[in-house]
Amino acid sequence: MKIGIFDSGLGGLSVLNEALSKLSEHEFLYYADVKNVPYGQKSRDEILKFSFDAVKFLIENGAEAVVVACNTATSVAIKDLRAKLSVPIIGMEPAVKKAHDLSRNDTLKTLVIATPVTVNGAKLKKLIVNLNAKDKTELLALPRLVNFAEDEEFDTQNVKSYLKNELSKFDLNKFDFLVLGCTHFNYFKDSLREILPPNVNIIDGNEGTVNRLISELSLEISPQKSTSKIKFFYSGKEVFNKSELDKISRNLSRLEKMREIC
């Protein structure tokens, strides 16, 4: 099967990396909308248009299912995409339910970090309400992290200062989970781990998203990882440039290391 994965940029490589660890026998098309990244500060109409352009492109190039590996695009566009397009479309959502289910202490909270559009969107707020987790969940928008990730600036002093300053708005000892509500944020697990108290666990929605893909399409797990059947596209143009392919490879290598951090 040919599976499309779409993100505003290179954050969705974290979902691709997770998919490769379980679905190595399948082909992948990865679409990064680098011309329009970041989505988190765009209007809803813009995000809707960009999302349709990307998903339609993937379908036209043979994708039999598409993963919207972008929490922001999922928040804005997933209902419309599913209503108007015929292939299975899997979305992302912050792993608030996972944090809620894993929490063993009713007095501790979950902190969700994401883009401004996701934080302010109705989809995330509805999820929190449905889980009866409003009093146990705090939200924090970290828009600069997307730009840091696209520039491969992962563990610099600039990044750490930004994270420390933003996270200082909360008493982190009152939390037991930090939810990464943007796929770009997976690049920063090591920097976050340095800042967070040891009692705060980091979780993301990548595994849940890939497991849902497997379940919905009744796919068999094949864990022998391979990167030989992937085509990469930047805003509708296939990537052949060696320096860009090397950048993608570096990012996938980093994400593989980040998978071990929790």
Same-fold call for 2-92+206-258 versus 96-204: yes
Q: How far apart are CA 126 and CA 252, in angstroms?
A: 32
pLDDT in tens, 183-219: 999 999 999 999 999 999 999 999 999 999 999 999 9
Decide the pairing of beta strands 109-114 and 27-32: unpaired
Catalytic residues: 70, 182
SS3 153: coil
Pick the CATH number of 2-92+206-258 from 3.40.640.10, 3.40.50.1860, 3.90.1150.10, 3.40.1710.10: 3.40.50.1860
- Write down the pTM of the prediction: 0.93
Q: Is the pLDDT of residue 41 over 90?
A: no
How far is Cα 35 from Cα 24, in angstroms, rounded to an integer? 29
Instruction: Name 196's Cβ contacts closer than 8 Å, sequence gap at least 6.
Output: 167, 172, 178, 202
Which pLDDT band, with edges at 50, 70 and 90, does 22 fall under?
A: very high
Rg (CA), the chain: 17
pLDDT at 184: 97
CATH of 96-204, one of 3.40.50.1860, 3.30.450.20, 3.30.365.10, 3.40.50.300: 3.40.50.1860
| 104: confidence class by pLDDT, cuts 50, 70, 90 | confident
pLDDT one-digit tens code per residue, 138-174 = 999 999 999 999 999 999 999 999 999 999 999 999 9
Distant-in-sequence contacts of 213-217, Cβ < 8 A, 24+ apart? 213/3, 213/19, 213/23, 213/65, 213/67, 213/90, 214/22, 214/23, 216/65, 216/88, 216/90, 217/1, 217/65, 217/88
Q: What is the pLDDT of residue 181?
A: 96
pLDDT at 175: 97
Q: Where do the domains of the chain lie?
A: 2-92+206-258, 96-204
Q: Work out the mean pLDDT of the chain and round it to a whole number.
A: 95
Q: Is 35:53 a contact under the CB 8 Å cutoff?
A: no
Closest CA relative to residue 88, chosen from 108, 58, 117: 58
pLDDT at 225 over 80: no
**Quick one: pLDDT at residue 120?**
93
